[in-house]
């Protein structure tokens, strides 16, 4: 897999054209805006299922993206962003295990920009990530989701993931505990 590689073009439920592709260096500014939109949303909604807790700067985001592109080049992760109307509207990845016993196993993360949710983009991203991970040689993928996030759980189940466990009170935010549900798929 290469940075910027295009996987497919899809049409969202609202008719907008969306490109699913790997991230590339030219996405730096868009990635920064995307990350900070999520952090801002987390501040407003205590149940928001994203754990990134600090606004990023151009420097921290450039370091993150540089590391990510190197990881993609090494084959250590499958990256997938969604681009619509010239904007980065979704970001996701599956990161391969770091030790030899887990090279066949990946951990998945995904988010879609607020105004582009419920348009079918997240499910298409999930299905494409699963296909690309299989082609990359992965055999299993896991993810963690807030138990208070029924939309994400619905999308993951639609993509073939099954609930395999629950970690009580893993999340503590603003004085409140939230359970984590662990989900997995065999490819």
Q: Which is nearer to ligand COA, 22 or 155 (CB)?
A: 155
- 145-146-150-152 Cα dihedral, nearest 10 degrees: -30
Q: Which is nearer to ligand COA, 62 or 123 (CB)?
A: 123
Q: Which is nearer to ligand COA, 22 or 38 (CB)?
A: 38
CB of 73 to ligand COA, least distance (A): 26
**Looking up tokens 């920009």, which residue turns up?**
113
CB of 100 to ligand COA, least distance (A): 27
CB of 101 to ligand COA, least distance (A): 25
* Angle (CA) 62 59 66, round 5°: 20
Query: Measured at CB, which residue is nearest to ligand COA?
Result: 122
Beta strands per DSSP E along 15-123? 17-21, 77-84, 87-96, 105-112
Q: Which is nearer to ligand COA, 36 or 62 (CB)?
A: 36
CB of 111 to ligand COA, least distance (A): 4
- 166-151-19-90 Cα dihedral, nearest 10 degrees: -70
CB of 169 to ligand COA, least distance (A): 17
CB of 182 to ligand COA, least distance (A): 11
3-state secondary structure of 95: strand
Residues that bind ligand COA (CB under 6 A): 49-50, 110-112, 117-123, 145, 149-152, 154-155
Q: Which is nearer to ligand COA, 19 or 25 (CB)?
A: 19
Q: Which is nearer to ligand COA, 3 or 129 (CB)?
A: 129
Handedness of CA 162, 80, 107, 121 (dihedral sign): negative
Nearest partner of 96 among 65, 68, 55, judged by Cα: 68
* Angle (CA) 48 95 97, round 5°: 125
């Amino acid at each position: 897999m290469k940075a910027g590689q295009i996987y497919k073009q899809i049409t969202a439920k609202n008719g907008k054209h969306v490109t699913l592709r790997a991230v590339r260096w030219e996405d730096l500014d868009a990635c920064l805006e995307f990350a900070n939109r999520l952090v801002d949303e987390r501040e407003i909604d205590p149940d928001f299922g994203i754990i990134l807790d600090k606004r990023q700067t151009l420097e921290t985001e450039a370091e993150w993206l540089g590391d990510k592109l190197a990881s993609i080049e090494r084959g250590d992760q499958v990256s997938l962003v969604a681009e619509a109307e010239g904007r980065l509207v979704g970001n996701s990845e599956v990161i391969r295990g770091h030790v030899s016993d887990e090279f066949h196993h990946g951990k998945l993360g995904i988010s879609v920009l607020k105004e582009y949710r419920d348009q079918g983009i997240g499910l298409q991203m999930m299905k494409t990530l699963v296909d690309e991970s299989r082609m990359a040689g992965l055999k299993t993928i896991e993810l963690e989701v807030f138990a208070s996030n029924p939309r994400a759980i619905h999308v993951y189940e639609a993509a073939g993931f099954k609930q395999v466990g629950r970690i009580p009170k893993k999340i503590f935010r603003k004085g409140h505990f939230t359970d984590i549900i662990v989900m997995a798929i065999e490819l």
